[in-house]
Amino acid sequence: MTTSQSSNLTKYHFTGFVLTLLAVSSLVFYQLFVNLQHQRIPLPKFLSINTLKQAFQAVKYQPKSLGIPQNTPDADLINVNCQEFCKFNLTNFPGKNIPALVDNNGQGRLSDLTLHFFDPLVRLIGYENNKVEDPTFYVIDYQPQLIQTIKLNLNQQRRLNFVSYYPQTKQILFKSTNLNNGSEEFMLYSASSPSLTLLGEHQP
């Protein structure tokens, strides 16, 4: 075998290796993308500009960029008492009971709720009433003062569900589901001020 033939063979081997590596990498990358039913996205749709744009948006808004989420409130710091009406007992403030407000005048009360987050550093409490017909998310402070009221059922068209709270940015992540077509998108609400960030839509 001549030197020229040997050189060409080496080039062919290298080209074959690169093409094989690209094919395997593409296959592995493709396996990462499924729809909301965990079914593989059809290749033509996977290669569409819209799908790739959504993929990069999802990478951009990874929860890691928001800090460490608070998955569950620390039961040693706060507990819920709904014997008469719902109130929060704070262990670091003995004897201080904070009523679960539902309106600005402070007269409304809940008899049942789900506690979603408690941020002792900025003194915020996030909870949801357990009303199927009118689900609502509330954020209050220690005063107590109602900071946020977020309707979770939007005209029977969309349903919001709490996902996580991020103490580092004081933001609440909700998943919004379109009740007509099943599409989903994620929304970030500020816990301490009126603010909403849309993170992009995901089709089923």
pLDDT-based confidence at 4, cuts 50/70/90? low
State percent of the chain over pLDDT 70: 64
Between CA 15 and CA 116 the distance in angstroms is 55
**pLDDT for residue 178:** 92
Q: What is the pLDDT of residue 192?
A: 87
pLDDT number for residue 2: 58
Asked if pLDDT for residue 150 goes beyond 80, the answer is: yes
The whole-number pLDDT of residue 84 equals 86
CA distance 30 to 23: 10
Q: Which of 66, 88, 65, 93 is nearest to 78 (CA)?
A: 88
Q: What is the pLDDT of residue 93?
A: 86
Query: Could you state, in order of their start, the residue ranges of all structural domains in the chain?
Result: 1-32, 65-202
Residues 86 and 94: their CA atoms lie apart, in Å, by: 17
pLDDT of residue 170: 92
- At 119, which helix (H) or strand (E)? strand 113-119
Q: How confident is the model over 99-138, as pLDDT tens digits?
A: 999 987 667 789 999 999 999 999 999 999 999 889 999 9
Beta bridge partners, 79, equal 89
Interval 26-74: pLDDT, tens: 555 544 444 433 345 555 554 555 555 555 444 444 555 678 899 899 9
* C-alpha dihedral (97, 100, 106, 109), degrees to nearest 10: -110
pLDDT of amino acid 86: 95
The CA distance from 76 to 154, in Å, is: 35
Helix locations, 32-117, DSSP H = 43-46, 49-60
Which residue type sits at 41?
A: I
- Residues 6 or more apart whose Cβ sits within 8 Å of residue 159: 135, 152, 153, 176, 177, 179
- 60-80 exposure pattern, b = at least 16 Cβ within 10 A, e = fewer: ebeeeebeebbeebeeeebeb
